[in-house]
Amino acid sequence: MLLYVFRRLLTAIPTLFVIVTLAFFLIRVAPGGPFNQERGLSPQIQANLEAQFGLNDPLWMQYLNYLNNLLHGNFGPSYVLPDFTVGELFANGLPISIQLGTSALILALMLGSTLGVIAALNQNRLADYSVIALATAGSTIPTFVIAPIIQLVFGLSWKLLPIGGWGDGALINKVGPVLTLALPQIAIVARLMRGSMIESLRSHHIRTARALGLSEWSVVVKHALRGAVLPIVSYAGPTAAALLTGSVIVETIFAIPGVGRYFVEAALNRDYTLVMGTVVMIAIFTILFNLIVDVLYAFVDPRVRYD
């Protein structure tokens, strides 16, 4: 197992290299630059700024300099927010996004899996149809519709939750954003668990377990659920990476100071270093969580071996 993890980490290096290279050159293909403002700067000021940040160097030299800084853990300064480095922005915003993403992921996995199991055990009954209807609605309604509804109903009408803001991490301020992030994932997890659980309940080893006289609780929890959870584990990897790195829509609507909003703002303002830092961070999270999923497979399914 350790050898497998080591090999996967080694293969992640060229993957990150390709991602960084593509992102570095693609963002510079887009027209404009970090100092091309609507009102414009004088040519002398713009030239001084480009010289200060090394943007007047040949593109290949900028690329090598960025790789060298990245290898030393330096994401560089933000061009649009000159008082902060990219690392400082992430240090302030990433913990907030991780709190929201982790809470939403746990809620989605627990509630979605429970609903999926209930639907599978009551196939073609009222409970099954209800879960399918709720899951279909949850997976089709976008977050930019869910968030204003939560603000309108729970914030303005019932005054149970604040409309927005972080509030120094107060629990009541997290409820709205977490629900908005979790609801679509709950729907997807419920549908995945329902289909996987139905298939698992019809497998030969479950029939054998029932024929041996095991209780329904033991059959469902100890045997059927273990096999049915594999698709959920696969889905949880990339979903965790997406949730933990923040949601642009949710953080913008609820005025949450996470890292999700940085990506769009940096792309619109051509803040090269902030865009690159966001891309690298998302890529690292995705690679790590996919590795964690593969390792968990060996613990969940005894047929999986990484010898």
Extended beta strands in 193-288, E state: none
Give me the pLDDT at residue 20, please. 94
**Token digits for 11?**
């293969």
- Taking the C-alpha atoms of residue 95 and residue 98, their distance in angstroms, rounded to an integer, is 5
Give me the pLDDT at residue 167, please. 85
Is residue 182 within 8 Å of residue 104, measured between CB atoms?
yes
CA angle 141, 240, 230 (to 5 degrees): 95
Assign 41 a pLDDT band (cuts: 50, 70, 90): low
What's the gap between Cα 266 and its chain centre? 18
Give me the pLDDT at residue 37, please. 59
Looking at the chain, the number of H-run helices and the number of E-run strands are 14, 0
> Which residue shows structure tokens 């713009």?
46
- Contacts of 196-200 with C-beta under 8 Å, sequence gap 24+, read 196/116, 196/227, 196/228, 196/229, 196/230, 196/231, 196/232, 197/116, 197/117, 197/119, 197/120, 197/121, 197/224, 197/225, 197/228, 198/120, 198/123, 199/228, 200/224, 200/225, 200/227, 200/228
- pLDDT tens by residue, 163-186: 988 888 889 999 999 999 999 999
- pLDDT tens by residue, 44-89: 777 777 777 788 888 899 999 999 999 998 998 888 777 888 999 8
pLDDT exceeds 90 at position 261: no
- pLDDT tens by residue, 10-33: 999 999 999 999 999 988 887 777
Q: What distance, in Å, lies between the first and last C-alpha atoms of the chain?
A: 6
Is residue 207 within 8 Å of residue 131, measured between CB atoms?
no
Q: Which domains can be identified in the chain, with CATH numbers?
A: 86-300 (1.10.3720.10)
**Token digits for 120?**
């599978």
Average pLDDT of the chain to the nearest whole number: 87
pTM for the full predicted model: 0.86
pLDDT exceeds 60 at position 38: no
Is residue 28 within 8 Å of residue 273, measured between CB atoms?
no
